Amino acid sequence: MEPNSEIRRLLDVMPASGRMMTKIVSKPEQKKVIDAAFPLPWGQERPIYINFDLWRRLTKPQRDLLLLYQVSWLTGVKWLQPDIYQGLVLAGLLGGVVEVAQADVVGVIIAGGLSALAGVRIWRMNQSQESELTADKTAISIAKRRNYSETEAAQHLLTAIETVARIEGRSGLDFSELIRCQNLRAIAGLSPVGIPESKIENW
């Protein structure tokens, strides 16, 4: 597989928001088939690293859905989306600036602590099982605009997750992947049992 031609093809599969926010990078030395670091708020682009020697062992539909999942997860991380936690981060930072100007050490510690706690909460929300299941659903939704049916897209993503584990030489799926696979089986009509929303929120 020639990486540049596959990258061009994958860019066509991606939604416009994905092309603007992410970048596909060939990384033949990595042991994972596809990988991306958690995006930090100051990062301007969100790279997706692919080992194309391993990537070519997947079918084209599996590659499409894996990429769409990764793009959906990366673009779904929102550091500046207005809600109470982002408000607390901002309030903490502004409070810290004011307290520094007034040379109030206790105030600086309190404001900094408030900002840090809210930042950790945002981090955890963006790395939760819920965010991964949401990325799966988003990937399937985008795939439907790329001539896949919902059932087909779910099946391809399901088999891609399982195939990647074998390619990487892992003995099995991790907990997060097991949850995702169960939910994808339900979407694909292969299992009557999905993941209840209330259960997701408690993880």
Q: Return d(Cα 106, Cα 32) in angstroms, integer.
A: 46
Q: Return d(Cα 91, Cα 19) in angstroms, integer.
A: 33
Q: Return d(Cα 27, Cα 165) in angstroms, integer.
A: 18
What pTM was computed for the model?
Answer: 0.76
Q: What is the pLDDT along the chain (203 residues), one digit of tens a residue?
A: 899 999 999 999 999 999 999 999 999 999 999 999 988 777 778 999 999 999 999 999 999 999 999 999 999 887 655 444 445 544 554 554 454 455 555 554 654 565 555 555 555 555 568 889 999 999 999 999 999 999 999 999 999 999 999 999 999 999 999 999 999 999 999 877 655 554 444 44
What residues contact residue 42 under an 8 Å CB cut-off, 6+ apart? none
